[in-house]
Amino acid sequence: MKQSQLFTKVLKQAPKDEVATNARLLTRAGFIHKVMAGVYEYLPLGLMVLKKIEQIIREEMNAIGGQEVLMTTLQDKEVWGKTNRWDDKLVDNWFKTKLANGSDVGIANTHEEPLTFLLTHYVSSYKDLPIYIYQFQTKFRNELRAKSGILRGREFLMKDLYSFSKTQKEFREFYELCAGAYLKIFERVGLGDRTFRTAAAGGSFTTGLTDEFQTVTDSGEDVIYVDEKKKLAINKEVYTEENLKKLGLDKTKLKEKKAIEVGNIFPLGTKYSQALGLTVKDETGREQPVIMGSYGIGLGRLMGAVVEVSHDEQGMIWPKAIAPFDIHLINISKNQTPADKIYKALLETNTQVLYDEREVSAGSKFADSDLIGIPTRVLVSDKTLQSDSVETKQRGSDKTKLVKIKDLSESL
């Protein structure tokens, strides 16, 4: 893409009302635009990152047997009535609305009830199980506070997967498989070394312990205690002698850290299947409620977490796997022809290139490039052209390298 064609422009300053680093940097660089607190639009560069995160998650969910669907935002009150969760006292952050005829509808904040209900139309025998269903879908939650940029939205994209199993054993096996897939996802988006499986409270879904995936950073809202060797942690909310023992964690080896919950996995037992009548006939012909689990990742929150942990004074530093482009090609030579040729050649090798061919000063091109944070910068100048070369540099490093133009593709 030619940078002159990008409709967004880099802002000199972050908006005054944004306090979170992720929102300040992403807004300045033109990745997102705020509509109101907790409500953000994704602009071309931001959407490219979001889509790459989505694809990584999709690959890992498909690899463990997930089937993708897309459920609706408007939800049936009756279905929610079956678990009593329509009540605002039980779920306090619902957005709800009314149809023209006056009847109530819910605006999706999660999908346990609708999906369980959906499956009652398709599942009847133990032979139909297990089933793993997931989607990328926008959730709406009337969050009390929304000051953390895209870490906590009132409207946000979530990957939610739900598992439907016939036995506890089958459920547990998938639960562990999914925990492994989550670790792979966080590894692939560049958060592997600082994201920990963390024992946590059951929230509104269950009474036992559940698992969160927490990314350690000072800007996190949660407090966790980490055993770095075991790569395990426990959330402060459930930090008790009894739970430490259950988890085999030694108090003296734990470090207190702040962290962002980037994902979580929950056993749901038979709470929803019983309430909504999702049962299967077992081998002996008896009706058994299906055993369920739910598995969430917030895509925007994950993207925001990457920005929180991977930036410097100049701007963002994207991990290769989710960067909007692979290469930021910058021309500062008066003669644009050599850079144009390099751009074309790179596109032919399927490299994703943002090409800065704008007529602005070299200084502002460099500053914008550092802010946007594409992993590799390729500079074409009169000086580099004298030796038929370009200068390459990795974002986050000061080291530059002179590379012959004919060797560029290979070197990249």
Q: Does 263 bind ligand ATP (CB under 6 A)?
A: yes
Is residue 355 near ligand ATP by the rule CB under 6 A? no
Verify binding: residue 225, ligand ATP, rule CB under 6 A.
Answer: no
296 binds ligand ATP (CB under 6 A): yes
> Does residue 268 bind ligand ATP (CB under 6 A)?
no
Least distance (Å) between residue 332 CB and ligand ATP = 39
Strand blocks (E) in 317-399: 327-331, 353-356, 376-380, 389-394
138 binds ligand ATP, rule: CB under 6 A: no
143 binds ligand ATP (CB under 6 A): yes
Q: Is 149 in the site for ligand ATP (CB under 6 A)?
A: no
| Under rule CB under 6 A, residue 152 binds ligand ATP | yes
The yes or no reply on residue 237 touching ligand ATP (CB under 6 A) is: no
| Residue with tokens 């807004």, as numbered in its chain | 27
Q: Is 390 in the site for ligand ATP (CB under 6 A)?
A: no
- Residue 173 and residue 19: Cα distance in Å, rounded? 42
Q: Under the criterion CB under 6 A, does residue 144 sit at the interface with ligand ATP?
A: no
Cβ closer to ligand ATP: 294 or 376? 294
- Here's the x/- map for ligand ATP, 97-126, by CB under 6 A: it reads as -------------x----------------
CB 134 within 8 A of CB 69: yes
Q: Are 343 and 331 in contact (CB under 8 A)?
A: no
Q: Report the C-alpha dihedral over residues 306, 310, 314, 318, rounded to 10 degrees.
A: -60
Number of CB atoms found within 10 A of residue 176's CB = 12
222 DSSP β-pair partners: 259
Please state the closest distance from residue 150 (CB atom) to ligand ATP, in A: 7
According to CB under 6 A, which one of 149, 267, 293, 300 is a site residue for ligand ATP? 300
Q: How far is the CB of 165 from ligand ATP (least distance, A)?
A: 20
Binding of ligand ATP by 190 (CB under 6 A):
no
Encode burial over 274-285: b for 16+ CB neighbours within 10 A, e otherwise. ebbebbbeeeee
Nearest CB to ligand ATP, comparing residues 216 and 297: 297
Q: Which of 52, 142, 42 is nearest to 325 (CA)?
A: 52
CA gyration radius, the chain: 24
* Whole-number Å distance between alpha carbons of 339 and 345: 10
**Which residues contact ligand ATP (rule: CB under 6 A)?**
110, 141, 143, 152-153, 156, 158, 203, 261-264, 296-298, 300-301
